[in-house]
Structure 1
């Protein structure tokens, strides 16, 4: 293949990648999954793609790719792709104002003034653009990590473990965030998700427990939720040994972990999910849900494709809603909303290919209709699934709002406005 043809093919490929990052396809399911991976990596790493495309394009042009009209057409496509990458990169900053507006709407325009001075002083004043150059560099000075702590040993010999992120210097008991990773209830691991948030919170004085739980198809719901409750019980009973304040626990999760975190927050002390530790208090002070799935029945027909529900039915629930409607209701956070729910912060990308933003919107609306606590719903402009897994403009601007919400929640509990959990 000659260089003009190569440049045309490369320019077309890059243009399609950029278009997909802006306007992904949602059906059929295999296409949606491919669009997710392409859109996620291009959208959150747009600057890196821009540099790489300039390098490859320059090499092709240096090799004579502009000798004919096909090469010039490829050059035009490549230029258009790079212009879209600039748009994608700059749009990442829109996440910050979007979250701030949502917080002000739910908590009041003066919500930041309610954060105690000592907590406000620990909050980051701005994002750190240097982090975007090496986006997977998540470690921070002053944070120590204890990996692989056992928090439960099951009758079949399964050992459940967590990683504990905590400040190296602690002046007193630290508030706790329990993080539940995503992965469609069937894959993934605690060591690879939520790291920008966990390290940053630990640097602010939090103790963060990133937990593992049993995965399907070996596990069947509610095994996953029971394991999350076991982690909450461990923090309540053993957290003080590691410097934690067991009276203040927030649960957080992304994707499937967002589903489990929401259920854990909405089913405090339910004995059905606490076999053998029914007497332990598993109530939480708040919940942060990131692009979660909140309705296993899809009662409002919001899923653009049915394959995601097929995965839930065949691998996670191992039955259908028609055969066991009560079990599906208990597995759907939207069916478990309650007046005494703790405060919620829900973030969801507007172009999520795997968990439709409309589902998160419906859950937030249902929870707001009954809960006496604030429910913050923030739609992240241009956000794909997994937008906060590594450092990027969108991730870091959105996380500033998460940190502010958690500080507000901690301060409100300290004043007695919200009962600590």
Structure 2
């Protein structure tokens, strides 16, 4: 029993250590390191609970009758201190988000949020969600499921619409694009904490599917996204949404696609058969996105992404089709008419490097005529906000304030009879390096 207890404590301590220093080099440990670090950093209190329960059981069973048991107990204590540190770091998301908003929008940005918008945002998050982090339902929100926007694509051509159960009229719209490396996942797997909270605050949220590789070949993915956006523009009023105020968001591959949506509004090359539809958005919130397929500036940690894209997504060589790869890269589509952006990235992301997000922010901020916010979330892994956690709560609240600011600005513009800005431009061929 003492030796078994020691082995269990070593495993628990590795989970804690890995949350601080996840593997960022290419290899067989990349996936397990991400998964372990993701769950540990977001659920540190849950990990403490299972480690404590296991320790009590082993001590009761006689684990301290020999020196390996005492060594295991010492390792457990060190692991618990580390888990407490992870919880403390999670709290740092709040000031990081606030600093990003003040830097991008101005220190008095809260004063620019209309009173009725601020009041809707003041509603507390649903209690108990951090205790049961995967409870991704809300009795105040109604989901209209499996609505076809591209029926010929079957399940991949469906979307869901989330609305306040009390109803909505002329509500701002969130357009959510799921991630999954362009090859996996679906519309009900991501961004639910954000969508549920926004729907409770009066927003209408849309979550879409799109065709996935390897069956699909780029640009099938972005064409589907824009087709879904055109459907939203034409039909969201039937669900209480405002078709003239749509914000694109998504994480990972969804962060890549939402950024492209924000930067390539009305690009007819990616609107075959619906060239006349308006596919601009009024703001964009990408989470831990991929911003440069070409790795021109060497910000990616290794060549694994390029090899993956060549084989499964682009299905062309970067060397021989560089122009097409650049068109698929948000970093190369930056222009001055981009809409307001709020870029969110974790410092400990082991799948999409923080260095690339920093570069995208710098280039966009230097070029765009609209505000660009960038929040680097301390200790956050990839996909950190897809279930409820302390860090998720802080980030959702911050994104909600950014969206409240953007919607308030739009309401003031309409009240003043001003012309709408060229929200996302028409960067059909604009390539920047």
Bin the TM-score by the shorter chain: over 0.9
Alpha-carbon distance in structure 1 between the residues aligned to 2:7 and 2:154: 54
2: CA distance between counterparts of 1:420 and 1:366?
19
Q: How far is the alpha carbon of 1:70 from its aligned partner?
A: 1.2
Aligned pairs for 1:200-239 (under 5 A) are: 200-239=197-236
The answer to whether 1:267 aligns with 2:261 is: no
Alpha-carbon shift at residue 202 of structure 1 (Å): 0.6
Alignment of 1:20-419 (within 5 A): 20-124=18-122, 130-154=128-152, 160-170=157-167, 172-416=169-413, 419=421
- CA-CA distance at 1:306 after TM superposition: 1.8
C-alpha offsets along residues 129-149 of structure 1, whole Å, 9 cap, x if unaligned? 621100011222321101100
Does the residue aligned with 1:210 lie in a helix, a strand or coil? strand
Aligned residue in 2 for 1:5:
3
TM-score with structure 1 setting the length: 0.96
Residue 268 of structure 1: how far off its partner (Å): 0.6
Aligned residues: 418
Moved over 3 A (4+): 124-129, 156-159, 417-421
Q: Partners of 1:37 and 1:93 in 2: how far apart?
A: 21
Maintained 8 Å contact 1:26/1:305:
no
The C-alpha deviation readout for 1:349-407, integer Å capped at 9, x for no partner, is: 00101000111111111111110001101000000000000000111111110000001
Q: 1:350 to 1:157 in 2, by over 3 A?
A: closer
Contact 1:184 1:255 in 2 (8 A): yes
Unaligned regions of 5+ residues in structure 1, if any? none
Q: CA deviation at 1:157?
A: 6.6
Change (3 A) 1:74 1:129: farther
Determine the structure 1 residue equivalent to 2:429: none
Q: How much does 1:78 deviate?
A: 1.0
SS of alignment partner, residue 121 of structure 2: coil
User: Aligned equivalents of 2:156 and 2:396: distance in 1?
Assistant: 32
What's the secondary structure of 1:133's corresponding residue?
coil
Provide the C-alpha distance between the structure 2 equivalents of 1:322 and 1:259, rounded to a whole number of angstroms: 21
Which has the higher mean CA deviation after the structures are superposed, 309-318 or 279-288?
Answer: 309-318
Inter-partner Cα distance in structure 1 for 2:108 and 2:167: 30
8 Å Cα contact 1:127-1:397 kept in structure 2:
no
Which stretch of structure 1 is more off in the superposition, 324-333 or 139-148?
Answer: 139-148
Contact 1:179–1:208 (CA under 8 A) maintained in structure 2: yes
What is the alpha-carbon distance in structure 2 between the residues aligned to residue 173 and residue 262 of structure 1?
25
Computed over aligned residues only, the root mean square deviation of the Cα atoms, in angstroms, reads 1.5
Contact kept? 2:168, 2:241, Cα under 8 Å: no
Q: Is the 8 A contact 1:10 1:78 kept in 2?
A: no
| CA deviation map 1:260-307 (0-9, x unaligned) | 000011001011111111101110000000000000011111222221
Q: How far apart in 1 are the matches of 2:122 and 2:191? A: 17
Q: Is the 8 A contact 2:233 2:278 kept in 1?
A: yes
Q: 1:224/1:236 Cα in 2 relative to 1: closer, same or farther (>3 Å)?
A: same
Q: Give the SS at the match of 1:130.
A: coil
